[in-house]
């Protein structure tokens, strides 16, 4: 390299008169032979270049050997088995561990999905929740957007239902639900305790997130009168629960959000909302809106679904939205301790699913 940052010029093959024995000129140089200067230059180039090439080639072989050695020592493990999802092995045989779509078993299930257009459409329209309290908002936006943009399949409605879509500056004039716009109507702001109804953001204030009733009511703010929003919990016995849910999925207008406990599926975390689809006779698919955590599509059995919601949310029912106004500034930014629960009027309630259909 040139000291000034450029590449140094290629050395000249002219003889320096001050150099008594130029290293690139041999004693056999014959000035009378027009080819002798070319031959000496070629000899010099070979002598200078070939040793360097040999060194680089040796380094390349050493690197290749090292790479093969490391690969064999790892038993050539496929990418999907590396711990990018710390919750569990994607192919775990545990009874309560999902089958992640990134695993060999998950890819096999993906190839046999009975409603691939619905799965893809829900995955396309499921946003990443904007923060860890907004899984319910993101799930609601996903369900409404898949109604607004139904999958291209013979069983889908020929046209979307007349939904109440709040305008957005980002996507206007195209109708689309976002996690921001879905908060902005008078109906939803009362449910969420957000502006203009309140100066708070009720979703990001204790007890954080949204209850089954809030999600159901939030959907009702946007769906037409011909649609119904229904809550289903494990208060319903398992056989009737699965029958009711599968009956909903047989309707092309059915959309389902589930509030489950992550630890019941061998995942770190607590209560969480995500869209749910039926993909096989014995599997459902969760399209996780926390796409920054798990491989966001995973399959669970009906038993796993039932067990994941067969637990209690400590503040599944509370005096919303007015109780949040009684919290101090410090309490509004803190955790949900027993004092805060008492002020909110928290009542334990089972988790469950919310179905919307025509």
Predicted confidence (pLDDT) per residue in 10-35, tens digit: 444 333 333 333 343 333 334 444 44
Are residue 205 and residue 306 in the same domain, yes or no? yes
What residues make up the domain containing 345? Answer: 91-357
Helix (H) or strand (E) holding 280: strand 271-280
Q: Is residue 82 part of a domain?
A: no
Q: Residues 17, 143: one domain?
A: no
CATH number at residue 143: 3.90.70.30
Is the four-CA dihedral 107, 112, 117, 123 of positive or negative sign? negative
Q: Are residues 72 and 111 in the same domain?
A: no
Question: Quick one: 204 and 349 in the same domain?
Answer: yes
**Same domain? 148 vs 44:** no
Q: Is the dihedral of CA 223, 177, 276, 94 positive or negative?
A: negative
Quick one: 52 and 98 in the same domain?
A: no
| DSSP 3-state of 292 | coil
Residues 68 and 119 placed together within one structural domain of the fold: no
Q: Are 318 and 217 in the same domain?
A: yes
pLDDT tens, residue by residue, 233-254: 999 999 999 999 999 999 999 9
In a domain, 81, yes or no: no
CA distance 286 to 199: 34
Query: Which residue carries 């002598």 as its tokens?
Result: 47
260 lies in a domain? yes
Q: Is 300 helix (H, G, I), strand (E, B) or coil?
A: strand
Residue 83 placed within a domain: no
Distance, in Å, from the CA atom of 182 to the CA atom of 321, rounded to the nearest integer, reads 17
Structure tokens at 96: 């309560």
Question: Are 174 and 302 part of one and the same domain?
Answer: yes
84 in any annotated domain:
no
Residue 58 and residue 52 in contact, taking contact as beta carbons nearer than 8 Å: no
DSSP state of 12: P
Mark which of 76, 109, 130 sits at the end of a domain: 76
The reply to whether omega before 321 is within 30° of 0 (cis) is: yes
Residue 281 domain-assigned?
A: yes
Domain end position, chosen among 76, 106, 125? 76
Tokens coding 327: 């919290």
Same domain, 179 and 102: yes
Q: Is 44 exposed, middle or buried (0-12, 13-18, 19+ CB in 10 A)?
A: middle
Is 58 contained in some domain?
yes
Residues 125 and 151 reside in one and the same domain: yes
pLDDT of residue 62: 58
Could you say which of 50, 76, 102 is where a domain stops? 76
Tens of pLDDT along the chain (358 residues) come to: 544 444 444 444 333 333 333 343 333 334 444 444 544 544 544 455 545 555 555 565 556 555 544 444 434 333 333 233 434 444 444 578 999 999 999 999 999 998 888 899 999 999 999 999 999 999 999 999 999 988 766 566 657 788 989 988 888 889 999 999 988 888 998 898 888 888 889 999 999 999 999 999 999 999 999 999 999 999 999 999 999 999 999 999 999 999 999 999 999 999 999 999 999 999 999 999 999 987 899 999 999 999 999 999 999 999 988 899 999 999 999 999 999 999 999 999 999 999 999 9
**Would residue 130 count as lying in a domain?**
yes
Pair 89, 83: CB distance under 8 Å: no
Q: Does residue 137 share a domain with residue 51?
A: no
Q: How many domains does the chain have?
A: 2
Max Cα-Cα span within the chain: 108
């Amino acid at each position: 390299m040139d000291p000034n940052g450029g590449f140094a010029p290629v050395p000249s093959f002219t003889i320096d008169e001050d150099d008594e024995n130029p290293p690139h000129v041999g004693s056999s140089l014959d000035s009378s032979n027009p080819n002798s200067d070319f031959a000496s230059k070629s000899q010099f180039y070979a002598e200078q270049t070939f040793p360097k090439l040999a060194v680089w080639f040796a380094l390349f072989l050493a690197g290749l050997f090292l790479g093969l050695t490391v690969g064999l020592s790892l038993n050539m493990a496929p990418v999907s088995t590396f711990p990018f999802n710390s919750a569990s092995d994607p192919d775990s045989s545990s009874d309560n561990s999902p089958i992640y779509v990134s695993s060999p078993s998950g890819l096999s299930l993906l190839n046999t999905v009975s409603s691939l257009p619905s799965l893809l459409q829900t995955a396309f329209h499921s946003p990443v929740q904007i923060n860890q309290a907004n899984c319910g908002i993101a799930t609601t936006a996903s369900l409404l957007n898949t109604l607004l943009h139904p999958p291209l399949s013979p069983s889908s409605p020929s046209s979307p239902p007349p939904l109440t879509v709040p305008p957005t500056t980002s996507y206007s004039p195209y109708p689309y639900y976002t996690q921001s716009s879905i908060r902005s109507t008078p109906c939803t702001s009362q449910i969420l305790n957000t502006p203009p109804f309140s100066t708070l953001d009720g979703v990001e204030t204790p007890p954080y997130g949204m209850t089954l009733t809030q999600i159901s009511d939030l959907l009702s703010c946007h769906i037409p009168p011909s649609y119904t929003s229904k809550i289903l919990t494990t208060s319903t016995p398992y056989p009737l629960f699965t029958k009711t849910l599968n009956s909903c999925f047989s309707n092309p207008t059915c959309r389902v959000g589930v509030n489950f406990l992550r630890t019941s599926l061998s995942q770190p975390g607590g209560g969480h909302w995500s869209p749910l689809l039926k993909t096989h006779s014995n599997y459902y698919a969760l399209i996780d809106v926390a796409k920054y955590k798990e491989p966001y599509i995973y399959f669970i059995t009906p038993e796993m679904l039932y067990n994941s919601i067969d637990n209690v949310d400590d503040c599944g029912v509370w005096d919303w939205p007015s109780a949040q106004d009684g919290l101090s500034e410090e309490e509004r930014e803190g955790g949900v301790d027993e004092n805060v629960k008492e002020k909110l009027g928290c009542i334990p309630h089972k988790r469950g699913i919310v179905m919307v259909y025509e």
